[in-house]
Copies of this chain bind each other. A is one copy, B any other.
Amino acid sequence: SRSINLAVIPGDGIGQEVVAEGLKVLSAVLPQDVKLETKEYDFGARRYHATGETLTDADAEALKQHDAILLGAIGDPSVPSGVLERGFLLKLRFLFDHHVNLRPSKLLPGVETPLKGEPAIDFVVVREGTEGPYTGNGGTIRKGTPHEVATEVSVNTAFGVERVVRDAFARAQARPRKKLTLVHKNNVLSFAGHLWTNIFNQVAEEFPEVTTDYIHVDAATIYLVTDPARFDVIVTDNLFGDIITDLAAAVSGGIGVAASGNINPSREFPSMFEPVHGSAPDIAGQGKADPTATVLSVALLLRHLGYETEAARIEDAVSADLGERAGKPARSTSEIGDALAVRVAG
């Protein structure tokens, strides 16, 4: 019989609330024969303040035993910038080799976009997750003096670029429009740019059905607000992906509905699924957070584990729920979760 052994990391702020709803919907959607085991882990600001730890070796070992990880949000203003990012979020991406950072953007019916004309937004960004300027390479000399020099090194390998580009081509191939756009800045960042561009062109030969194009990252931000419907699948580097996926979330209904997966396609290590939004301490504990992004992240998680039918059921439920929101009074976090749980079960 089938089973899912899930690590659950509610984290900080609204993370707690939205993860509870994600799990509610997950339980409701799974067929009887699938055994769901969950284990909750306490990571984030509270643990950091209590113990000074962000993610120990033992923690990492424990997480490795799971099939997948569901994360709410990590971060709090009380923790210095970078500590939880480098010490937990990025550490996990690197440790578990989450090289495919998957971020779909779809403007669902009933959802407000800041853009005029209600464009037909439906694309996926495949962001590289383990290289680029995120590696922590670099350093500082003469710190705090007028002669300080600080460097950040973007590291890009053929190995790392090829595997994510290949993944993106496969995803484009499987979609109706079969279109893949490389976003980079190869006219200025020529070393990394040539590597990305060459590998992109090479892998393209293996996917003759996929239409390809190239756009500089600065121009990509223009298209994302003037013609987002032009995009189908985008593949890009870690930093450019970080930037354009926040913009993509903003134009396709906001971070309240933006899901993401930190994926290791080999399944050698568990992949991690999380809403794009942060811990939003200003509204934490008030039942105001929209759990939709987390619920959609659960759908990505299910798809990754092979539960395509269940993933699609969740996505359909979310579409239906969003479509009926207009003009109705705002619901609480758990009311939205309840409604989605009912829909997926039905």
Q: What residues of chain A have their CB less than 8 Å away from a CB belonging to chain B?
A: 81-82, 85-86, 90, 114-117, 133-134, 136-140, 142, 144-159, 162, 185-195, 197-198, 217-219, 221-222, 224-226, 239, 242-247, 249-251, 254-255
Q: List residues of chain B with CB within 8 A of the CB of A244.
A: 221
Q: Is the CB of B243 within 8 A of A243?
A: yes
Are A158 and B154 closer than 8 Å at their CB atoms? no
| Given A140-B191, A150-B195: 19 more A-B contacts, CB < 8 Å | A81-B186, A114-B115, A114-B225, A140-B195, A146-B158, A149-B157, A151-B154, A153-B154, A188-B242, A218-B245, A221-B243, A221-B244, A221-B246, A222-B250, A222-B255, A225-B247, A226-B250, A243-B243, A247-B247
A44 vs B250: C-alpha distance in the bound complex, in angstroms?
37
Taking A115-B114, A187-B81, A243-B221 as contacts, is the C-beta distance between A145 and B158 under 8 angstroms?
A: yes
Are A115 and B153 closer than 8 Å at their CB atoms?
A: no
With A138-B191, A189-B133, A190-B82 already in contact, the answer to whether A147 and B158 are too (CB < 8 A) is: yes
Q: Are A144 and B198 closer than 8 Å at their CB atoms?
A: yes
Query: CA A158 – CA B254 in complex, angstroms?
Result: 36
What is the chain B residue whose CB lies nearest that of A197? B81
B115 touches A225 (CB 8 A): yes
How far, in whole Å, are A152 and B155 apart by their CA atoms in the complex? Answer: 7
Give bound CA distance, A253 to B244, whole Å. 20
Is A218 a contact partner of B189 (Cβ separation < 8 A)? no
Measured between beta carbons, the chain B residues less than 8 angstroms from A254 are: 226
Contact, CB under 8 Å: B222 / A243: no
Partner among B136, B147, B246 whose Cβ is within 8 Å of the Cβ of A159: B147
CB of B249 within 8 A of CB of A222, answer yes
Interface centre among A81, A139, A162, A244 (most CB of B within 10 A): A81
Cβ contacts under 8 Å, A192 to chain B: 138, 150-152
By the criterion CB–CB under 8 Å, are B155 and A149 in contact? yes
Determine the residue in chain B with the shortest Cβ distance to A217.
B243
Tell me the complex Cα distance, A226–B250, Å: 7
Inter-chain CA distance A243–B186, complex, in Å, is 14
Q: Residues of B contacting A190 with CB < 8 Å?
A: 82, 86, 136
- Of B198, B225, B246, the residue contacting A251 (CB under 8 A) is B225
Q: How far is the CB of A145 from chain B (nearest CB, A)?
A: 7
Q: How far is the CA of A133 from the CA of B191 in the complex (A)?
A: 11
Q: Which residues of B contact A249 (CB under 8 A)?
A: 222
Q: Which B residue sits closest to A134, measured CB to CB?
A: B188
- Of the candidates B115, B117, B187, B250, the one whose C-beta lies within 8 Å of that of A82 is B187
Are B138 and A188 in contact, with the CB atoms below 8 A?
no
Q: How far is the CA of A346 from the CA of B319 in the complex (A)?
A: 58
Among B139, B148, B158, B187, the residue within 8 A (CB) of A158 is: B148
Could you say which residues of chain B place their CB within 8 Å of the CB of A242? 185, 188, 217-218
What residue in chain B is nearest A144 (Cβ atoms)?
B198
- Bound Cα distance from A226 to B239, whole angstroms: 21
Q: How far is the CA of A198 from the CA of B244 in the complex (A)?
A: 27
- Give the shortest distance, in Å, between A294 (CB) and chain B (any CB): 19
- Tell me if B82 and A193 are in contact (CB < 8 A): yes
Q: Please give, as numbers and ranges, the residues of chain B lying within 8 Å of A187 by CB-CB distance.
A: 81-82, 85-86
Q: How far is the CB of A201 from chain B (nearest CB, A)?
A: 12
